[in-house]
Amino acid sequence: MSEFYVTTPIYYVNDVPHIGHAYTTIAADVLARYHRQLGDDVFFLTGTDEHGNPAAQAAARRGLSPQQHVDEMVVKFKALVEQVNATNDFFIRTTDSEHCAKVQAFIQNLYDQGDIYRRSYRGLYCSSCEAFYAEKDLVDGKCPDHGTEPQTVEEENYFFRLSRYQERILDHMEQHPEFIMPESRFNEARSFITQGLEDISISRASLQWGVPIPWDESQVVYVWVDALLNYITALQYAREEDLLERFWPVDYHLMGKDILKFHAVIWPAMLIAAGMELPRHLFIHGYLLMGGEKMSKTRGNVLDPFEVMDKYGVDAFRFYCFREVTFGQDGVVSLEGFENRYNSELANDLGNLLSRTLAMILKYRGGVIPEPPPDSGGDLFAAATRLGEEFAASMSRVDLSGSLELVWRFVRSLNKYVEDMAPWKLAKEPDRGTELNAVLYNLAEGLRLSAVFLHPYMPDTTLEILGQLGITPGSGEIMLQQAEWGRMPGGAEVQPGKPLFPKLD
Ligand code: MSP
């Protein structure tokens, strides 16, 4: 058994959750569930980033204190986690007192060792990004991400000697080309680090909503420093026992491309400064777009994930996220696209295959799955073996859409198999009973394997499939070692149930 630690970004609570948040959380959940299926010891962390300007401003707009505002908003973020059926092991809030104390201890240590110094600073600040911009990086004088004009901010701040760590980060990248995935993001990160890192301000004097700087309580910790530390503080207080040794370094920090810089520059430098190991991988995915535009709170073009899931079910939504858009790239999502995939793939390819198979087993074999045939499935056996190998390789590249496509090809081959074998014809010829047995077994076995592979994507549906195949839910039936062709004995009684995905009109 090996340890596997996966994280999502912790989300800002200045506004309600949207499909982008759901996307990263589901991706992390797919990985977490997959690793549990492998038998790994998994820790999956998500949570909320509750300090900083945008949250304080949102609270002020609502006439609430920041604490009241974040306490209300976090409920919605926790509800989203639950609704997407994410199996996170902990939900961190940066307002947790344990987190705050550990953030203070961390930066006190950097201060004591001379990595932090005080100086006055004047710069252009986008309060939505919580970041300073150089004039040259603005577009028509505006923030490239938010389209708003940054303010000139002048403060006495504490600075972190980021510049000290440039070479060490680059060395690490040189030795670990898998540090940032996919490769294009690795190159992007390397190129901006190579351009030179300047020391950064890690405190704010103008803001009260944050973790106080331990040696100067008139300032608070820069929200990004506070936020990045969540990945290690959570391990230290999520359980009674300190999990840091067991799970650090993290296997995957998942995130969208908007926050690559913070994770590829500030975070490694902070960790090196503290003498800690660097994350094994940052995996950067693309944006879900609607009508070609990035969805964001500030732009107001969000698709409500709650509505979609209420109407069509969580698993259909989870499936769609990785079916429609290549994981790692940007892609357009729409209700129309969703409904098309739902009908053609979930209702037809998968749902219909199950109901047809069970109906035939019921009709021709009294509902009992025949014994495995001696020839062990022929082409399907070969396809299933290939699927197992390719799926594992694809998952190790975090190619969540590629892995799903591999399973789908297999599901399609099962559909083709039914058409080719035409069991309804075999049933009319009494001397071809053995052939019919083999076909029915192979279909049931193919469905069982599909369910095991699809489990991380559609956890409830796949358990339902196994249940309908007469496999009593225990602990082990969903483990990946079960995804071997021919492991299912015959003799189980099928339990046909409701259609998995009723067709939409
Ligand atoms: N609080 C910071 C992260 C701190 S992590 C130490 C933050 N929060 S956020 O609420 O803005 O969430 C950003 C993340 O949400 C993105 O990195 C991405 O994971 C996800 N997404 C937000 N919009 C998205 C899309 N339109 N599409 C896909 N994912 C997107 O940044």
pLDDT digits (tens, 9 = 90+) for 368-385: 999 999 887 778 999 999
Let me know if 498 is a catalytic residue: no
Residue identifier of the C-alpha nearest atom 27 of ligand 1: 287
According to DSSP, the residues that pair with 253 across neighbouring strands are 7, 282
C-alpha 13, offset from chain centre: 19
Residue identifier of the C-alpha nearest atom 12 of ligand 1: 11
Q: Which atom of ligand 1 is nearest to the CA of 12?
A: 10
Kindly state the average pLDDT of the residues 150-170: 94
Q: Is the pLDDT of residue 305 over 80?
A: no
For 387-426, write each residue's pLDDT tens digit: 999 999 999 999 999 999 999 999 999 999 999 999 999 9
Mean pLDDT of the chain: 94
How far apart, in Å, are the Cα atoms of 276 and each of 2, 34, 64, 325? Answer: 20, 27, 39, 35
Let me know if 146 is a catalytic residue: yes
Identify the band that residue 335 occupies on the pLDDT scale cut at 50, 70 and 90. Answer: confident
Let me know if 100 is a catalytic residue: no
Give the pLDDT of residue 227: 98
The one catalytic residue among 76, 78, 142, 146: 146
Q: Is the pLDDT of residue 498 over 80?
A: yes
pTM tops 0.85, yes or no: yes
429: tokens are 């010829």
- Under 8 Å between Cβ of 464 and 500: yes
Distance (Å) from CA 378 to ligand 1 centroid: 46
Distance (Å) from CA 11 to ligand 1 centroid: 6
Distance (Å) from CA 4 to ligand 1 centroid: 22
The one catalytic residue among 69, 143, 253, 285: 143
The one catalytic residue among 76, 78, 142, 294: 294
The sign one gets for the Cα dihedral 480, 484, 487, 492 is: positive
Which of 7, 14, 18, 24 to mutate to test ligand 1, by most ligand atoms within 8 A of the CB atom? 24
Which of 6, 16, 23, 50 to mutate to test ligand 1, by most ligand atoms within 8 A of the CB atom? 23
Let me know if 21 is a catalytic residue: yes
Distance (Å) from CA 254 to ligand 1 centroid: 10
Identify the band that residue 110 occupies on the pLDDT scale cut at 50, 70 and 90. Answer: very high
Domain ranges of the chain: 335-482
Let me know if 297 is a catalytic residue: yes
Distance (Å) from CA 9 to ligand 1 centroid: 6
Distance (Å) from CA 223 to ligand 1 centroid: 15
Which one of 1.10.730.10, 3.40.50.300, 3.30.43.10, 3.40.50.1110 gives the CATH number of domain 335-482? 1.10.730.10
3-state SS class at 368: strand
Neighbouring CB atoms inside 10 A of 420's CB total 10
Give the pLDDT of residue 295: 57
Rounded CA-CA distance 51/56 in Å is: 7
Q: Is the pLDDT of residue 296 over 80?
A: no
